[in-house]
Chains A and B, each alone.
Chain A
Amino acid sequence: MLTIDGAEGEGGGQVLRTALGLSLVTGKPFLIERIRARRSKPGLQRQHLTAVLAAAEVGGARTEGAELGSQRLFFRPSRLRAGQYRFAIGTAGSTTLVLQTVLPALLMAEGPSTVVIEGGTHNPMAPPFEFVEQAFAPLLHRMGAGLQLTLRRHGFYPAGGGEIVAAIAPAAWQPLEPPERSERPQLRGRILLSDIPHHVAEREASVLRRELGLGADEVQVQPVRAAGPGNVVMLRLQLGTVTEVVTALGERGVAAEDVAGRVVAEARALLAADVPIGEHLADQLLIPLALAGSGSFTTVAPSQHTRTNAQVIEQFLPVRFALQEHSGRPGVWCITVMAAR
């Protein structure tokens, strides 16, 4: 049986989510130990527990150690079932991370599924909804998989209360055509605001316009209704055949200019890197790429997160990842997946 060290590498919830997702896909049971062992609150937190229970529901799995604070979990799926699911996450936990957990399995299931997830839609340390919708889903389409996303309610940390719906169609996998970068990227800004004074959004918008040379109508301010206050600065970058989304969350005690400044800095780095795929999108693409069996793309230097993710995937699927820096272009990396010999 597969035994996974949950404290290895990045050592957080990602190891757990990848393992859960691929166990459902392959039907392989696994034991994960030292879950988040080196974190300040080690073991399963409530949002992780929700992910475990969601995966268990989708795959009819038997679990041991699915308890709060547990650092050891045994997971044995029985039968993967497509259908209607609804998961509610406490503590304003990220809806996109729970989606990420069950998505690979439902893409491999026998019929279409609809998953409703309640919780946070724009969380720190998690992909924001628009990133999944506009950057990740179109690439999935190109690989032969269907994912339609709808945001019903916004949910911001710490109040939560958001809701997303994912319509998932089984995939007929095809290898990913290496995405290409266009000469003239198109940028669009969008700022979400809930229960926060309007001038905050205006100040953020003016930073984006000034620093990135955007026109007045190229940055939108969108007030939304949510259970609690929230502020998100987003920049959509049309990089050619790929769309990237860069975001920053407004924080108490951080000036509006600085929040927008973070987006500007990340966008500039991505534009300067001269690759179509950023760090976070690269991370998300590993599993679909492995499920498709082959493919490659160029990106920035892979993060610890990405490397750990690749290692866990290799434990479940008969694939191998090659992460190589381009010989002639420093800072440009090529990630390739191939069948393991």
Chain B
Amino acid sequence: MCQHGDLLVRRLILLTEPRFSKLFEAVASDIATISPETTVERRDLHIRDAWDFEQVFDALFELTRNLGLDPEAEDVLVHMTTGSHVAQICLFLLTETRHFPARLLQTGPPRQGSDEPGTWQIIDLDLSRFDKIAQRFAQQHQQGQSLLKSGIATRSRAFNELITQVETVAPASTAPILLTGPTGAGKSQLARRIHELKQQRHQLAGPFVEVNCATLRGDHAQSALFGHKRGAFTGALQDRAGLLRTANGGMLFLDEIGELGGDEQAMLLRALEEKRFLPLGSDREVDSDFQLVAGTNKDLGEAVAAGRFREDLLARINLWTFRLPGLQARSEDIEPNVDHELERWSAQVGRRVHFNVPARQRYLAFATSAAAAWRGNFRDLNASITRLCTLAPGGRITEALVDAEIARLTADWQREPTTTGGATEDDEVLRAVIGDDRVAALDRFDRVQLAEVLRTCRRHRSLSAAGRELFAVSRNNRASTNDADRLRKYLLRFGVDPAIALGP
């Protein structure tokens, strides 16, 4: 190590044992001769058996804590060619986990009969530095991301970034994952894919177990989740393992976790922290180690504030939170998802269906427009494509069919109260002036325009001033202007009193 013309060791920390003092002295004196630039420091380790993994690891781990290496000031190398195999393995592990902030140094003996000092090489465990290995990793990431997207070539940047994060976090962490986003945004689908990814990478062997907490009520809820002993309550005729136990070694997806009852929340928290829990009517705890993925479309922070959700449980599951955008926020992804739904229907039914060209254009134009609210997100899209496919004469989706479907979707989304997705800014302005009922009766066309007009009015004290701003372009082309009158008529059409609309 110290004989190479192209490797200069400034400080050598030699690990030894008290009984090898003579050997140490000989080595140190040889190094002083051949490498006067090197200072040798002795560190005695107390290892009784160099082949005992626990002892060696413990001794070396202890060393990592008190060596005081400064990788900023020194280029640190860990020489792992000497020592027992166990010591080499421990050195490797401690370097790989950055307990030694170092690169590995490997040396080889000289060719037989040669006076040369042999070979040396430095191995950097930051594998991303190696092009070929980096390529393999990139490929693996790509495959993982594609899997998470169910093979759909999504184009939405925000969504793709989210998937990249999930693909980084999921294989690297066993901590709970929280998926938020509106209903139908694909939380359950994504959870299933994360499970598949972790299975593929040999990180989870157990099953995927899914339950919607909104369906769990009363005794039934506890027994479904945590199991029960026979006779625990009326009707408990047999032992039941419960979902947490079934998910042992696998993944438990709790959708709408905000709906979970208080007792169940407390028991779940304990199960997450201790990896054990008490089944109903049992006096013996059972073990279960599972990865939790939770889904919610509610603001759990709000639920905590309202006392409906435990703060400590939220803290426990809120480590990795991914917010899935709704379909309307992912209009670029509608086309690939339409194709995916078509494929899926075809595969299920065994009959190929496709759009004719103008029908496809018309459908996509509507689907990606602002008029398409996609309140139920992927659930809506799935239902829409299923209807089109089922009704398609001779496997072809025609323009007439598309028109009928558009009318149906529009009607569906109108019927639903606007509050589902949370109030928009426009709605707030409108409600303040004309009230909930009349807002609901407005076309979107009018809603947007009226909201903007009302916002402008609020900034002015007179109709003339507001009118000047609103008609700023067209008033230049007219001989006589009466902006105030024009604006008053517009407001009255919607039953708005101009005096209320104006600002103070």
Contact = CB atoms under 8 A, between A and B. Distances in A.
A188 interface: no
A91 B113 contact: no
B37 to A, nearest CB: 5
B115 to A, nearest CB: 5
A225 B133 CA distance: 52
B115 A157 contact: yes
A49 B10 CA distance: 14
A89 B114 CA distance: 21
B36 interface: yes
A252 interface: yes
Interface string B37-51: 110000000000000
Contacts of A88: 36-37
Contact of B34 (A41, A90, A252): A90
A88 B39 CA distance: 13
Report whether over half of chain B's contact residues are helix, strand or loop; otherwise say mixed.
loop
Contact of A46 (B5, B30, B116): B5
B189 interface: no
Contacts of B33: 159-161, 227
Nearest to A48: B5
B11 interface: no
Contacts of B6: 41, 45-46, 68-69
A91 B114 contact: no
Contact of A41 (B2, B5, B8, B113): B5
A207 B33 CA distance: 34
A338 B76 CA distance: 53
A148 to B, nearest CB: 24
Contact of A89 (B3, B8, B36, B116): B36
Contacts of A251: 115
B113 A46 contact: no
Given A90-B2, A91-B3, A227-B33, A46 B8 contact: yes
B101 interface: no
A93 B6 CA distance: 12
Given A252-B113, A252-B115, A253-B113, A159 B5 contact: no
Interface in B1-25: 2-8
A118 interface: yes
A264 to B, nearest CB: 24
A68 B5 CA distance: 9
Nearest to B2: A90
A49 B7 CA distance: 12
Interface string B100-115: 0000000000000111
A252 B114 contact: yes
B146 interface: no
Interface string A173-215: 0000000000000000000000000000000000000000000
A158 interface: yes
Nearest to A158: B115
Nearest to B37: A90
B391 to A, nearest CB: 74
Contacts of A47: 5
Contacts of A157: 115
A69 B5 CA distance: 9
Interface string A88-111: 111111000000000000000000
B498 interface: no
B117 interface: yes
Contacts of A161: 33-34
Interface in B113-137: 113-117
B410 interface: no
Contacts of A92: 3, 34
Contacts of B318: none
A32 to B, nearest CB: 18
A46 B34 contact: no
Interface in A220-256: 227, 251-253
Given A159-B33, A160-B34, A91 B5 contact: yes
B414 interface: no
Contact of A158 (B37, B38, B117): B117
Contact of B35 (A45, A49, A68, A91): A91
Residue of B6, B7, B38 with most partner-chain A CB within 10 A: B6
A93 B115 CA distance: 14
A90 B30 CA distance: 11
A49 to B, nearest CB: 8
A112 to B, nearest CB: 25
A280 B187 CA distance: 82
A89 B36 CA distance: 7
A164 to B, nearest CB: 15
Contacts of A253: 113
Nearest to B5: A45
B5 A158 contact: no
Contacts of B5: 41, 45-47, 91, 93
B39 to A, nearest CB: 13
Nearest to B115: A158
A251 B115 CA distance: 9
Contacts of B37: 46, 88, 90
Interface string A129-168: 0000000000000000000000000000111110000000
Given A41-B6, A45-B5, A158-B3, A90 B113 contact: no
Contacts of A158: 3, 34, 115-117
Contacts of B114: 252
B79 to A, nearest CB: 17
A251 B116 CA distance: 12
A46 B34 CA distance: 11
A91 B31 CA distance: 10
A35 to B, nearest CB: 13
Residue of B3, B33, B35 with most partner-chain A CB within 10 A: B33
A153 to B, nearest CB: 10
Contacts of B38: 90
A145 to B, nearest CB: 29
Given A41-B5, A90-B2, A91-B117, 9 more contacts: A68-B7, A68-B8, A90-B37, A91-B35, A158-B34, A159-B33, A160-B33, A161-B34, A227-B30
Interface of B: 2-8, 30, 33-38, 113-117
Lowest 4 CB-CB distances: which A-B pairs, in order? Answer: A88-B36, A45-B5, A161-B33, A90-B35
22 contacts: A41-B5, A45-B6, A46-B5, A46-B6, A49-B8, A68-B8, A90-B8, A90-B35, A90-B36, A91-B4, A91-B35, A91-B117, A92-B3, A93-B5, A158-B34, A158-B117, A159-B34, A160-B33, A227-B30, A251-B115, A252-B113, A253-B113
